[in-house]
Chain A
Amino acid sequence: MRLQKVFPLLICILISNLTFTSMGQSTSKVQFSLVYTNDVLGEVEPCG
């Protein structure tokens, strides 16, 4: 897992999520995201 890249990706998700939410507020929608990882297996620096 490229940890240093995961965090910026999460921020992008948050921003898009916020934009999505503000657009949806007029129809009183509940909008949120679940972000997940699995079986990282101690990987901090893939080859390459």
Chain B
Amino acid sequence: MKKEGKKVLLLDTGNLLFRKPLQTETKRRDALLRVDLLIQSYNEMGYDAVNIGEKDLMMGLKFLSDVGQKAKFPFVSANLVDKKTGKVIFKPYVIKEIGGLRIGIFGLLDDAFSPTLQERDPGLSILEPLSTSKALARSLRENCDLIVVLSQLGESKDRKLARENREIDLILGGGGESKRAVMERVNEIPIYRLEPRGGYLGRIDYSLVYTKKPIKFLISSERDELEKRLERLITRSIQIKSDMAKSGKQEEMRIKELKFLELKQKELEKTLIALDDKNFYRHTPIPVQLSVKDDLKIIKAVEMYRAESGKLYKPKLAAEAGKELPEKEMIARIPKESTFVGAISCKKCHEVNYRNWLKTKHAKASQTIVASPKYSQEECLVCHSTGDGKIGEYVTVEEIPFYLQGVQCEACHGEGKGHPGKGKIERKVTLGACRNCHTKDQSPTFNYMAYLEKIGCKITK
């Protein structure tokens, strides 16, 4: 991409490699495969700089340095230093030239993480990020037109950074405990971060007429508001047109409204064009949806990862497969203290429903994960088993209790202990309950009524 001189900078604010401590050897090996895949893909996509986050150091400095050797992009961190010498371990910043502008990019790590880090890597230290950023931004300003911070400080410290450092032009955030996206301006400095775990790309389009330092972005809430109004008008117009197409009727009131909207739309567009000779930027979060076509080279690497990852887990599962218990023994083995009683217990009174359920995808939901190389991902188990997060945290399929495999009756109707009688069973399963798992992303074709038919509970013969 860069060889072709295209004007895009690709950045990552850190916490790229790991999510949580790797408790077993299998998980460690799987995580290493994922690290290889990530680095390979980031190389392919041509990332320009990646900040270091706390979680990237989970396997120690040496590991990250070795990973850095494989990366074609620089890892940056302005405040991760050698404790003895006080010198930075990675590049503190990079300067990228784009469209004739020089953009200084540096990374910051939260020093609240320092004690844990020093326990793991006693030779490392994290400098106080705000003062580090002030000194670095001042020196970069001499050579750079814009300064971008890749931050792992978390939301509140990002705001503090913006309040105390006017030299910065943009903060791309990350880190901390927050899982929400941030799009705000503090002290005229935009701060952006996306929801974690790679579901989105953030895109900031810059359009500059005046590039003399210091570059000011005159675009403000006025333009944003005009754009929002324009978007609302367009959305309403589309809705009216689609309603008319559906009904097949050309209703006079709707046609009048449509004409009015089109007139307003033209006026707004004119006003926006008049603002066109100002410097501005626009931020857009882009969801990485299933409908986006796969890149062939990267999907090949993903498939190789799937195959290798699958080898790590599957032998263990093969041994588990034969553990089918007779019904009576199964019921007898269900722990008395468990609030979940298992579909096998429901069978006693709801045999037809049980038999219908056995034929559904819900019944095989845990096995679906086994069959897929992705099954090692514990977050999948919340929706591919029963009782996860309520009677325990399942990490792998093997950890699902034998009587709660698949999406059983209690996953939708609630815990069965005490039923019939004083139990908490919900007779009617609401759309909201289904939507816990059948989200727009995970289940784009979900239709409440149609899916209700599929799960077999309504069939009583």
Q: Which residue of B lies closest to A18 (CB)?
A: B6
Kindly identify, within residues 9 to 48 of chain A, every residue whose CB is under 8 Å from any CB belonging to chain B. 9-10, 13-14, 17-18, 20-21, 24, 27-48
Report how far A44 CA is from B10 CA in the complex, Å: 18
B277:A37 contact, CB within 8 angstroms: no
How distant is A22 from chain B, measured CB to nearest CB, in Å?
11
Report how far A37 CA is from B200 CA in the complex, Å: 7
Q: Which residue of B lies closest to A37 (CB)?
A: B12
Known contacts A34-B148, A44-B302; A39 and B441 CB within 8 A of each other? no
Residues of A within 8 A of B197 (CB): 1, 39-41, 43, 46
Which of B94-102, B238-246, B256-264 lies on the face that meets chain A? B94-102
B9:A34 contact, CB within 8 angstroms: yes
Residues of B within 8 A of A33 (CB): 7-9, 203-206
Q: Of A2, A7, A32, A47, which contacts B206 at CB under 8 A? A: A32
Which of B114-122, B133-141, B188-196, B389-397 lies on the face that meets chain A? B188-196
B198 touches A (CB below 8 Å): yes
B416 touches A (CB below 8 Å): no
Which of B160-168, B293-301, B321-329, B345-353 lies on the face that meets chain A? B293-301
Known contacts A34-B9, A40-B15; A29 and B207 CB within 8 A of each other? yes
Q: Which residue of B lies closest to A32 (CB)?
A: B7
Report how far A38 CA is from B9 CA in the complex, Å: 14
Residues of B within 8 A of A9 (CB): 201, 286, 288, 292
Kindly identify, within residues 52 to 81 of chain B, every residue whose CB is under 8 Å from any CB belonging to chain A. 53, 55
Report how far A6 CA is from B198 CA in the complex, Å: 9
A34:B203 contact, CB within 8 angstroms: yes
B55:A3 contact, CB within 8 angstroms: no
Report how far A28 CA is from B211 CA in the complex, Å: 11
Interface residue tally of chain B, by bracket? 35 or more
Report how far A9 CA is from B287 CA in the complex, Å: 9
A38:B302 contact, CB within 8 angstroms: no
B331 touches A (CB below 8 Å): no
Known contacts A3-B37, A4-B298, A20-B205; A13 and B8 CB within 8 A of each other? yes
Report how far A45 CA is from B30 CA in the complex, Å: 13
Query: Interface code B291-323, partner A: CB below 8 Å = 1, 0 otherwise?
Result: 011110111011001100000000000000000
* Chain A residues touching B, majority SS: mixed
Q: Which residue of A lies closest to B50 (CB)?
A: A37
How distant is A44 from chain B, measured CB to nearest CB, in Å?
5
B38:A44 contact, CB within 8 angstroms: yes
A31:B173 contact, CB within 8 angstroms: no
Report how far A7 CA is from B208 CA in the complex, Å: 26
Q: Of B175, B290, B379, which contacts A39 at CB under 8 A? A: B175
How distant is A48 from chain B, measured CB to nearest CB, in Å?
4
Most buried by A among B193, B206, B297, B379: B206
Q: Of A1, A36, A41, which contacts B18 at CB under 8 A? A: A41
Q: Of A27, A28, A40, which contacts B198 at CB under 8 A? A: A40
B9:A39 contact, CB within 8 angstroms: no
Known contacts A38-B196, A43-B198, A46-B197; A8 and B295 CB within 8 A of each other? yes
B203:A35 contact, CB within 8 angstroms: yes
Residues of B within 8 A of A13 (CB): 8, 201, 203, 286
Residues of B within 8 A of A36 (CB): 10-13, 150, 172, 192, 194, 201-202, 204
Residues of B within 8 A of A10 (CB): 1, 8, 10, 45, 201
Report how far A8 CA is from B388 CA in the complex, Å: 35
B17 touches A (CB below 8 Å): yes
B383 touches A (CB below 8 Å): yes
A7:B45 contact, CB within 8 angstroms: yes
Residues of B within 8 A of A6 (CB): 41, 45, 198, 201, 288, 295, 298
* B interface residues (Cβ-Cβ under 8 A, vs A): 1, 6-19, 31, 34-35, 37-38, 41, 44-45, 53, 55, 98-101, 148, 150, 170, 172-175, 192-194, 196-209, 211, 276-277, 286, 288-290, 292-295, 297-299, 301-302, 305-306, 374, 377, 379-380, 383-384, 441-443
Q: A30-B100, A40-B197, A42-B17 are in contact. List 6 more A-B contacts (CB 8 A).
A: A9-B288, A30-B211, A34-B9, A39-B14, A41-B16, A48-B441
* A interface residues (Cβ-Cβ under 8 A, vs B): 1-10, 13-14, 17-18, 20-21, 24, 27-48
A-B contact pairs, 27 of them (CB 8 A): A1-B198, A4-B295, A4-B302, A6-B45, A7-B298, A8-B294, A10-B45, A14-B1, A18-B6, A30-B101, A31-B7, A31-B205, A34-B8, A34-B172, A36-B172, A36-B194, A36-B201, A38-B202, A41-B19, A41-B198, A42-B31, A43-B19, A44-B302, A45-B374, A46-B199, A47-B374, A47-B383
